[in-house]
Structure 1
Amino acid sequence: MRKSLRAAAIAASCAVAGAALYGAGAATAGQSTANSTHEPYNIGLLVKDIDTYYGTTLDSNGVYQASPASPYAKDLARIDADAKRYIDKAVHKAHHRGEKPAVVFDIDDTLLLSLDYEKRNNYTYNSATWAAYVNRADRPAVFGSPELVQYAEKKGVEVFYNSGLSEAQRSAAVENLKKVGADVNLDADHMFLKDKDHPPSYLSDCATPGTWNCTTVQYKSGTRKHIEDDLGYDIVANFGDQYSDLDGGYADRTYKLPNPTYFVS
């Protein structure tokens, strides 16, 4: 479930420190949804700060885009550069140990940017408008992420996707990922989406057919556990824009991509 918790503390910390690596031996930006006894940050100023961070502009088609020269783009470039260096080392170690290395990517705002939806909906969420937006399959790429997918594949790393999108949105997700150049392992064996009607057996602790009680962390960490324990891979890196994409273990290293526009618990 996606929650519109647009707290100023969350957005401000992500905008300033969203590029920090989140994982073993890495700095991490604090992210809290606790109520404050102090006056919150002015929401009008916060929106301006978000626009400045993304370098938000309207393109010729009337779509809100992030600027490749923005602080957001620069933060992503630093993450990508570190991830590539790490993948090089991790692949060498994995092959030396006879392991099968893998990487896992979230999709929304990790590979496909949703800035236009957020701006047009005043940073709020509606399931119907969100579904219509996803099904258009025309979101732009998160800067550098499709190239990182391709880089991992060329290094001999198996690429998986672990997304909160629903099974009904699979075809749109595949189409959109192909458009932005993340055309790697887009089959059902590598792209894990929420199937609430027919949840997989490895999520039986929190989901049964027709009943879904999994939190985001349970769903995503349970899927990573399946990739490692059942499919036999070692997840060397896990990429996501939410802490709930990353918590729960089953990854050697995690990378938190910046996203000051919403929070998913």
Structure 2
Amino acid sequence: MRKSLRVAGIATACAVAGAALYGTGAATADSTDTTSARHTAEPQNIGVLVGEIDDYYGAHQDADGVWRSSPDSPYAKDLARVQAKAKKDIRKAAAHGAKSDGHGVRGSAHGKKPAIVLDVDDTALLSFDYEKSTNYTYNGATWDAYVKEAKRPAVFGMPELVKYAKGKGVEVFFLTGLSETQREGAVTNLAKAGYDTKLDTTHVFTKNKAAPPAYLSHCATPAKWECTTVQFKEGTRKYIESTGYDIVGSFGDQVSDLAGGYADKTYKLPNPTYFVE
């Protein structure tokens, strides 16, 4: 899956908090040599951090015990700000036509059809219920079952953004680190969540380790998959552009979703629960 290098979000956030605080602690109690005093910093308390994450998402359980995020939460408001900027950019790109090759060279892609590319997990579909239910820890078997249930809600505002883009004549692609065996669950879920757009194999790209496409031959063969997240997504965006599209916007909740080029603009959606290299 896309989160093959995923670590528990809480542990990551605590490490970041500790790094930010490092150097502000006091010398050890038994040290009197100020020139060699060791500084310590206690990481952020996990209980406090979980509470902050709950507040950020507006966490609550519905009648079925499913964890939900609130549409008026800080998380939803942060999403709305990113989406508002993206819609302005999409409108301009659609009005003026594709004018970039994804590397900052203006005018070289004139005549190509504009497109946007979206990650799936926590960009198109929200997995907050899984995060809360597993106490922010990842397990391959439970995650696979969760994906195949196809019950995740849409990330706030993203189906509307897709509809807006399509209304401007922009093609929509999904690029996910979910495995090929999880394709059916992802596609079914996207349709159920309100993504009214093409969801065939030419518009939804999964990680097919058993039969990797030729455009990833530099890092993947049927015998050995060595693509990093960045290589996989960069290579796929490059391929999409080679078929006659100019990617005017790339959307993801991880920096690794967006790195590598082959997109005029990138849009980082908020996600404080895990990190993928």
Structure scoring higher RCO (CA < 8 A, sep ≥ 6) equals 1
Q: Which consecutive aligned stretches of 4+ in structure 1 deviate over 6 angstroms post-superposition?
A: none
1:83 paired residue number: 86
Aligned residues: 241
Where in structure 1 are there 5+ consecutive unaligned residues?
A: 13-35
1:144 paired residue number: 157
Shift of residue 124 of structure 1? 0.7
Shift of residue 39 of structure 1? 2.0
What CA RMSD, in Å, does the superposition of the two structures yield over aligned residues? 1.6
Return the letter of the residue paired with 2:170. V
Correspondence 1:178 to 2:191 = yes
Return the letter of the residue paired with 1:148. L
CA contact (8 A) 1:58 1:64 kept: yes
Q: 1:76 to 1:10 in 2, by over 3 A?
A: farther
CA contact (8 A) 2:98 2:246 kept: no
Correspondence 1:215 to 2:257 = no
Q: 1:168 to 1:184 in 2, by over 3 A?
A: same
CA contact (8 A) 2:15 2:43 kept: no
Return the letter of the residue paired with 1:243. V
Worse overlay, 94-103 or 81-90: 94-103
**C-alpha separation between the residues in 2 aligned to 1:10 and 1:128?**
26
CA contact (8 A) 1:8 1:40 kept: no
Q: Where do residues 76-155 of structure 1 align in structure 2 (5 Å cutoff)?
A: 76-94=79-97, 97-155=110-168
Instruction: Find the partner of 1:192 among 205, 227, 231.
Output: 205
1:244 paired residue number: 256
Worse overlay, 180-189 or 63-72: 180-189
2:72 paired residue number: 69
**C-alpha separation between the residues in 1 aligned to 2:127 and 2:7?**
14
Return the letter of the residue paired with 2:115. A
1:161 paired residue number: 174
SS of the aligned residue for 1:197 comes to coil
Shift of residue 38 of structure 1? 2.8
Where in structure 2 are there 5+ consecutive unaligned residues?
A: 18-38, 100-109
Return the letter of the residue paired with 1:44. G
2:269 paired residue number: 257
**C-alpha separation between the residues in 2 aligned to 1:201 and 1:132?**
30
Shift of residue 8 of structure 1? 2.0
Q: 1:65 to 1:10 in 2, by over 3 A?
A: farther
Return the letter of the residue paired with 2:250. N
Return the letter of the residue paired with 2:178. L
Shift of residue 91 of structure 1? 1.0
Greater gyration radius:
2
Shift of residue 37 of structure 1? 5.9
Correspondence 1:44 to 2:57 = no
